[in-house]
Amino acid sequence: MALMTRRSALAAGGTLAAAFAARKPHAAEPADLAKVLRQLDPPETLPDMAFFDANGTAHHLSDYRGRGVVVNLWATWCAPCVAEMPSLAALAAAVAPDHIAVLPLSSDRGGAPTVSAWFKAHGVTGLPVLLDPKSVIVSAWKAPGLPTSFVVNHQGQCVARLEGPANWAASDAVALVRKLVGA
């Protein structure tokens, strides 16, 4: 039986690490929204914290009063976030005629260039580049992790929340969002 030298053990470990690093985890298919969305009774008021668009302009949830809103806290490095982003883009297209906004707030430290490049690379269209770069909203809204989503009615109250990914594009999901926001 040959003894393994320290150098050969390190080389073997490096090869093994490189093999695992090349693999990327695959996110599971996002869940059915109706099964995972937690409706809030009574509705909650969320702190009106600033988030920023690609130009650095500050926006607030209160800017959307009178409209329904789905806020999704996400990041480009988050596998479940990545899995649900195409369905959020489809939701945005489906509910735009109902004056419902879909606001994906990215926590990426790279800011707008990172999010814009990610949207382009993944063919995601119809969603604004919005940023929560210091995770101020993640903290203030007590999101336990990413993705976390909030459904806000026309009066500006959070009527439902979801911790984790979901399929936002299914017809029953679109109908549920419309109902919850009062469209």
Give pLDDT tens digits for 53-99: 999 999 999 999 999 999 999 999 999 999 999 999 999 999 999 99
**Gap between the Cα atoms of 52 and 64, Å rounded:** 14
Homologous superfamily of 27-181 in CATH? Glutaredoxin (3.40.30.10)
pLDDT for 83 equals: 94
In the predicted structure, residue 28 carries a pLDDT above the cut 80: no
| pLDDT tens per residue across span 106-146 | 999 999 999 999 999 999 999 999 999 999 999 999 999 99
**Gap between the Cα atoms of 77 and 73, Å rounded:** 12
Measured torsion, CA atoms of residues 67, 150, 103, 168, in degrees rounded to the nearest 10: -100
pLDDT for 31 equals: 82
Average pLDDT over the chain, rounded to whole? 87
Report the predicted TM-score, pTM, of the whole model to 2 decimal places: 0.84
Tokens in use for 52? 């920023």
pLDDT for 9 equals: 41
Contact in structure between 122 and 83 (CB atoms under 8 Å) = no
Maximum Cα interatomic distance, the chain, rounded to a whole number of Å: 76
pLDDT for 118 equals: 97
| pLDDT tens per residue across span 147-182 | 999 999 999 999 999 999 999 999 999 999 999 999
23 or 68, greater pLDDT: 68
pLDDT for 30 equals: 76
pLDDT for 18 equals: 37
